[in-house]
């Protein structure tokens, strides 16, 4: 059975952030994911993680004001100085929180200049954090209109171009299904590049039950292939989080 992490930026949101870590442990998750852990005291988060024995498996870069703010800017031409400054700040947080992975968000951009900027910034980031796994994630245009990285083939090309051992694919089955209509086919083509997986149901990004993506079959496939990374629950619960956890094997 895969190792399941709770994305507590999505789950248990009726609780303060630190209390969500305890809720994740109580409900059987083995790790947690926090998209932007920049506004809560690091010592309190670290203490809760330590008490619960849960790792922080992934967080996002850069640290914006996410409400109304930019959803990343690593691919925005002319923003490399800003990216390097904010990446250094994010790396300090990741080190303090012992995060296992950093997801670098591309932002809204298009064209050859955006691609070149993204590659340049990824090369800087992978060199600045050689002991940390960095990920890039294709996100569907319906959820994030104009997002630069919305194609898995492009993500694979960029990973090959950067050619850093600590850069990997973040495979979100929800986005893969939305982008291509066949998440399994995307996994067959690019799953070997993935070091982190996220899941959610379609079409409304609720619980990952069997439907457009047959998640029970997906989990069996991961086991059969020997995938030993995390599978993170990144979905909006249809009701109370604890009432919708029956999807786990």
The residues carrying an active-site annotation are 137, 234
- Helix 42-52 crosses helix 80-97 at what angle (to 10 degrees)? 40
Based on its alpha-carbon atoms, the radius of gyration of the chain, rounded to whole angstroms, reads: 17
Could you give the CA distance from residue 141 to residue 150 in angstroms, rounded to a whole number?
7
Candidates 205, 185, 85; CA nearest to 139 is 205
CA angle 86, 48, 44 (to 5 degrees): 55
Residues in the chain: 249
Using DSSP's 3-state secondary structure scheme, residue 236 falls into coil
Q: Which residues, other chains included, contact 7 with Cβ-Cβ below 8 Å and sequence gap of 6+? A: 32, 33, 34, 35, 198, 232, 233, 234, 235
Could you give the CA distance from residue 203 to residue 191 in angstroms, rounded to a whole number?
22
């Amino acid at each position: 059975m895969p190792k399941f992490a709770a994305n507590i930026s999505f789950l248990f949101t009726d609780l303060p952030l630190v209390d969500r870590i305890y809720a994740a442990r109580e409900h059987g998750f083995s790790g947690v994911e926090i998209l932007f852990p920049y506004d809560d005291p690091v010592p309190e988060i670290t203490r809760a993680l330590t008490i619960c024995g849960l790792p922080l498996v992934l967080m996002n870069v850069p640290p914006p004001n996410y409400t109304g703010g930019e959803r990343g800017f690593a691919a925005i031409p002319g923003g490399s100085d800003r990216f390097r400054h904010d990446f250094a700040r994010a790396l300090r947080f990741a080190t303090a929180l012992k995060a296992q992975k950093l997801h670098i968000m591309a932002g809204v951009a298009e064209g050859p200049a955006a691609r070149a900027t993204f590659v340049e910034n990824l090369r800087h980031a992978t060199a600045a954090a050689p002991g940390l796994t960095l990920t890039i994630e294709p996100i569907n245009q319906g959820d994030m209109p104009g997002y630069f990285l919305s194609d898995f083939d492009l993500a694979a090309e960029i990973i090959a171009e950067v050619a850093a051992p600590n850069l990997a694919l973040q495979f979100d089955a929800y986005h893969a299904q939305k982008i291509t209509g066949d998440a399994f086919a995307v996994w067959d083509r690019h799953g070997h590049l993935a070091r982190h997986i996220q899941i959610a149901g379609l079409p409304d990004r609720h619980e990952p039950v069997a439907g457009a993506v047959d998640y029970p079959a997906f989990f069996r496939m991961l086991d059969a292939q020997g995938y030993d990374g995390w599978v993170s629950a990144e979905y909006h619960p249809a009701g109370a989080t604890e009432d919708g956890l029956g999807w786990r094997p």
